[in-house]
Structure 1
Amino acid sequence: MTVEDIILETRNLTKEFKGFTAVNDVNLRVRRGDIHALIGPNGAGKTTCFNLLTRFLTTTHGQILFNAEDITDVPAAKIARRGIIRSFQISAVFPHLTVLENVRVGLQRTLGTSFHFWKSEHTLSQLNDRAMQLLSEVDLEHFADTLTVDLPYGRKRALEIATTLSMEPELMLLDEPTQGMGHEDVHRVTELIKKVSAGRTILMVEHNMAVVSGICDRITVLQRGAVLAEGSYAEVSGNAQVMEAYMGTATGVLEGAH
């Protein structure tokens, strides 16, 4: 594997909170074009790790490299401009804007500055074609004029993926994209993630092993802030330490979490 193959790398990434180590010497390598999952039991440090990667938290020590450049101390806004865009665990959309307007807000950065809420409708309408393309990509084109507050939960998560895509990410960070969903919505959003991954790299925190096994190229398992195992689903699901961490026993396999 060459340096060019790696889009994101962490070296001994560590975060301590008043003596408690939430992320402990994590060495992570995400290959360009992969869907890479970060999994682990509750409290394993997955979301803290995401917060470090997007600079919502500062590292205690260690390095973060994006496209082989050290971004450890780069401010959060500049991280996003470089192409690392995060979708949040709780649906982060404007509920009283329409579906189309939500995506248009994300697209406004292409005008040179962001969030032109005071701009005329005519100025913003130039973004409509691209916004509709993105809505079509996540199967929401028929909901364009719907107020976001009226969307079913699973469709809101699809909209969040569309707004993330509007920022033209090179690397998408998806934080629990299927959390709280019923089976039908889980299937729909899983298929959307697979669809939008074409030409992009995705790093996702996900608890649903059926999702992880179905679409992820590589999986990193965290436990108590440290990397417990890494590999394909077949490799990590057969790892006795992973079974122990998830199920409290070294018997059985992760299929039990489906």
Structure 2
Amino acid sequence: MAGEIILETKGLTKEFKGFVAVNNVDLQVRRGDIHALIGPNGAGKTTFFNLLTKFLPPTRGTITYAGQDITHEKPAQTARRGIVRSFQISAVFPHMTVLENVRAALQRNLGTSFHFWKPEKSLYHLHERARELLAQVDLQDFAEELTVNLPYGRKRALELATTMALEPDLMLLDEPTQGMGHEDVSRVTQLIKKVSAGRTILMVEHNMNVVSSIADRITVLQRGAVIADGPYSEVSKNPQVIEAYMGSADNELQGAH
């Protein structure tokens, strides 16, 4: 059901030897939304993602996904529920073709692990789905290209395709446009909008133009705590948010209007 809460954290906290990286965060992500998590450097965004994907245990608080308490699950269990994270590291094999990368992700999803030793023809049935996914991210013309040769923005598009091959219900995108030129940012922003159909996206993003153009809802973290939550039109006028971003030219909120 669109609009229902798919992911919720209550009082989520992570302390490292007296330093509170994530401080009592209450967050609700609605099914079908593109929800952006923003904040200055050191605000706790990556730590928060690590808590969601179980790479870190919380000090206290709860994480609920689709009505189930997943706070203490192992990373693999959480991934099997359909929570898939992308863009943290370049999650592609550079010396395989673009098509082979997507096919490898499809194999992983089938649970056949990486049967690289299987006869090549037994993988043909995955070709059609792989080509569909490439078409969704405008990479159909690059299918036979070695991944290492792709421009940076296209590599990011390939990561979107390999993430979608795992059939996520909730895609966690960690700074999907980081390090990109303007043209690539625009392309990848539109791709995120396109692939959000039928799924939920929670993204950490620094670029305010991206956030203002595609996010349905925004949560702002500062020093590990939520200082604002709501649609961009509200959040961008919040005095605390404006103050948090002052003096940081590349994060200037007003620049996105």
The two structures have a TM-score, normalised by structure 2, of 0.95
Structure 1 contact 4–67 (Cα < 8 Å) conserved: no
- The residue aligned with 1:60 is 59
Structure 1 contact 55–75 (Cα < 8 Å) conserved: yes
Q: Secondary structure at the match of 2:58?
A: coil
1:15 & 1:125 partners in 2: Cα distance?
45
Shift of 1:89: 3.0
- The residue aligned with 2:34 is 35
- The residue aligned with 1:150 is 149
1:132 counterpart = 2:131 = yes
- The residue aligned with 1:106 is 105
4+ long deviations beyond 6 Å: none
Q: Which moved more, 1:128-137 or 1:90-99?
A: 90-99
Give the letter aligned to residue 111 of structure 1: L
Q: Secondary structure at the match of 1:103?
A: helix
Instruction: Indicate the RMSD between aligned Cα atoms, in angstroms.
Output: 1.7
- The residue aligned with 1:229 is 228
Q: Which moved more, 1:89-98 or 1:134-143?
A: 89-98
Give the letter aligned to residue 108 of structure 1: Q
Q: Secondary structure at the match of 1:86?
A: strand
Shift of 1:119: 1.8
1:115 & 1:37 partners in 2: Cα distance?
33
1:220 counterpart = 2:215 = no
- The residue aligned with 2:73 is 74
Shift of 1:248: 4.9
Instruction: Count matched residues.
Output: 254
2:103 & 2:186 partners in 1: Cα distance?
26
1:123 & 1:73 partners in 2: Cα distance?
38
Structure 1 residues 71 and 254, CA, compared in 2 at 3 Å: closer, same or farther? Answer: same
Structure 2 contact 107–114 (Cα < 8 Å) conserved: yes
Counterparts of residues 170-185 of structure 1 (less than 5 Å): 170-185=169-184
Q: Secondary structure at the match of 1:127?
A: helix
- The residue aligned with 1:208 is 207
Q: How big is each residue's C-alpha offset from its partner over 1:10-35, in whole Å with a ceiling of 9 and x where there is no partner?
A: 01101111111100100000000000
2:2 & 2:9 partners in 1: Cα distance?
13
Percent same amino acid at aligned positions?
73
Shift of 1:3: 11
Structure 1 contact 3–68 (Cα < 8 Å) conserved: no
Shift of 1:137: 0.3
Structure 2 contact 2–30 (Cα < 8 Å) conserved: no
Q: How big is each residue's C-alpha offset from its partner over 1:22-52, in whole Å with a ceiling of 9 and x where there is no partner?
A: 0010000000000000000000000100010
Q: How big is each residue's C-alpha offset from its partner over 1:51-103, in whole Å with a ceiling of 9 and x where there is no partner?
A: 10000111111110100100011111111111000002332211011100110
1:12 counterpart = 2:5 = no
Q: How big is each residue's C-alpha offset from its partner over 1:89-118, in whole Å with a ceiling of 9 and x where there is no partner?
A: 332211011100110111013433322222
Give the letter aligned to residue 41 of structure 1: P
Structure 1 residues 4 and 137, CA, compared in 2 at 3 Å: closer, same or farther? Answer: closer
1:155 & 1:206 partners in 2: Cα distance?
18
Give the letter aligned to residue 163 of structure 1: T
